[in-house]
């Protein structure tokens, strides 16, 4: 040992740590970073997947994008998914966590019940909900409405109800995740804070507003960042809940990612699709940067 002071146990450990880390880094470079950079390049070409040549066309794809009404519709839909879906799922997730935290017996059962949808395959969830939303005589919801003598709803076949219907499914599946993270956040708050508040005679509302919520800020920021990215990339639900993934009716549910998929793998307009992924990438980047700045202030 003394003869090789440079390779101490500590150094050796570090050396092997780097070796092991090199494998995922290599993986990321080949599988993630290279294709990402390549997508930037593709967005300036007219590649159609089957041609051997890729012609550089400059900003043509981007110009076309700005004149493409469906692109704007899908972008708007994507934003709707985020601004409507995320706050609702965060709020519900918090309410659930707050209540489960106060339950003394059977909280494990509740946690499991709310968490199971999150670990269920989204494709399976989407198909089951698609059937629930069907008109009479198949759909459970409409059969229920109809048996109560109420008018039935169009759900997925309506321009205005389809997006909220898909969003409801998404939130339902997402809730467990938000709840578990909130619950962990609540449990991590030092009990002495609550005790001190109780001694000072604070009521429940004051404890919630002055202690629980402020202490949960890092949790909320984390859920906001991951949630925004997740809702911006919404795809599986719409792909499976609308017929052959068309994102209808009249594109009213089609998110940007599904439009990218259609262009790339149904119409084979790879260059055009790549241009859209660049837009989405920029969008996610901006959102993440803003949220990172917010967290830094926190520290």
Partner 1 sequence: MKKSMLVVLMLLMVLPFVFAAGGQEVKADTAKQDVTEIVYWQYFYETKKDLMDKLIVMFEERNPDIKVTQQTFPYENYNTKVASSVPSGQGPNVINLFYGWLPLYIDSGYLQPLPESVFPNARIENEFFPLVEAAKFDGKYYALPTAVRSLALFWNKDLFKAAGLDPEVPPKTMDEMVAFAKKIAKTDKSGNYLQAGMSLELRGQMHHVVREVLVRQFGGTPYNADSSKVTYNSQAGYDALKWFTDLETVHKVGIPQYMTDDVTAFSAGKMGITIDGSFRLGNFNKLKDTLHYGVAELPEMNGVKSNFASFWANGITSTTQGKELEASIKFLEFLTSDEVMAMWLPAIGELPAKKALALKDEFKNDPTYGPFIRGLEYAQATKFLDENAQRMVWINAYDEVVLNGKSPKQAVDQAAAEEQKVIDAYYAK
Q: Which of 3, 52, 105, 203 binds partner 1 (CB under 8 A)?
A: 52
Please give the Cα distance from 117 to 127 (Å, whole number).
Answer: 13
Q: Per-residue contact track with partner 1, 263 to 282, x per CB under 8 A?
A: --xxxx--------------
> Toward partner 1, which CB reaches closer, 117 or 249?
249
- Residue from 11, 63, 102, 159 touching partner 1 (CB under 8 A): that is 159
Query: Are the CB atoms for 231 and 119 separated by under 8 Å?
Result: no
Minimum distance, C-beta of residue 285 to partner 1, in the bound complex (Å):
28
Tokens of 87: 């706050």
CA distance 77 to 246: 14
Q: How far is the CB of 250 from partner 1 (least distance, A)?
A: 5
CB of 84 to partner 1, least distance (A): 21
**95 pairs with which residues across the strands?**
none
Does residue 164 interact with partner 1 by CB under 8 A? Answer: no
Burial group, residue 146, by CB count within 10 angstroms (0-12, 13-18, 19+): middle
Give dist(CA 66, CA 201) in Å, integer. 59
Residues in the chain: 299
- Applying CB under 8 A, what is the total number of residues that bind partner 1? 31
Site string (104-133) toward partner 1, x via CB under 8 A: --------------------------xx--
Q: Which helix (H) or strand (E) holds 165?
A: helix 162-188
Nearest distance from C-beta of residue 222 to partner 1, angstroms: 35
Instruction: Please list every residue from 211 through 250 that binds partner 1, using CB under 8 A.
Output: 243-244, 246, 248-250
Q: CA 178 to CA 86: how far, in whole Å? A: 10
58 binds partner 1 (CB under 8 A): no
User: Would you say 137 or 214 has its CB closer to partner 1?
Assistant: 137
**Angle formed by the axes of helices 107-119 and 69-102, nearest 10°:** 160
Shortest Å distance, C-beta 207 to partner 1: 49
Secondary structure class of 168 (helix, strand, coil): helix
Across 96-207, the runs of DSSP E, i.e. the strands, are none
Q: Which residues bind partner 1 (CB under 8 A)?
A: 48-52, 130-131, 134-138, 142, 146, 151-152, 157-159, 243-244, 246, 248-251, 262, 265-268
């Amino acid at each position: 040992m003394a003869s090789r002071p440079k390779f101490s146990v500590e150094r050796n450990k570090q050396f092997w740590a780097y070796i092991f880390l090199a494998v995922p880094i290599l993986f990321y470079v080949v599988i993630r970073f290279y294709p990402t950079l390549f997508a930037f390049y593709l967005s300036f070409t007219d590649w159609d997947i089957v041609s051997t040549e890729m012609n550089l066309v400059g900003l043509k794809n981007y110009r076309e994008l700005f004149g493409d009404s469906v692109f704007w519709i899908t972008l708007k839909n994507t934003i709707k998914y985020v601004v409507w879906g995320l706050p609702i799922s965060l709020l519900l997730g918090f309410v659930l966590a707050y209540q489960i935290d106060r339950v003394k017996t059977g909280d494990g059962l509740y946690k499991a019940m709310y968490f199971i949808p999150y670990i269920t395959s989204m494709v399976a969830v989407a198909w089951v909900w698609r059937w629930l939303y069907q008109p009479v005589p198949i759909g459970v919801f409409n059969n229920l409405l109809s048996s109560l003598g109420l008018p039935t709803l169009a759900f997925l076949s309506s321009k205005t109800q389809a997006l909220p219907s898909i969003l409801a499914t998404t939130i339902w599946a997402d809730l467990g995740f938000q709840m578990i993270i909130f619950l962990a956040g609540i449990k991590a708050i030092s009990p002495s804070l609550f005790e001190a508040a109780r001694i000072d005679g604070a009521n429940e509302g004051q404890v919630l507003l002055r202690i629980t919520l402020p202490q949960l800020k890092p949790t909320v920021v984390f859920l906001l960042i991951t949630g925004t990215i997740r809702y911006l990339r919404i795809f599986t639900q719409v792909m499976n809940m609308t017929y052959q993934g068309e994102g209808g009716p009249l594109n009213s549910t089609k998110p940007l990612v599904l439009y990218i998929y259609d262009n790339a793998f149904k119409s084979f307009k790879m260059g055009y699709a790549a241009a859209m992924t660049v837009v989405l990438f920029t969008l996610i980047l901006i959102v993440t940067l803003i949220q990172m700045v917010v967290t830094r202030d926190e520290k």
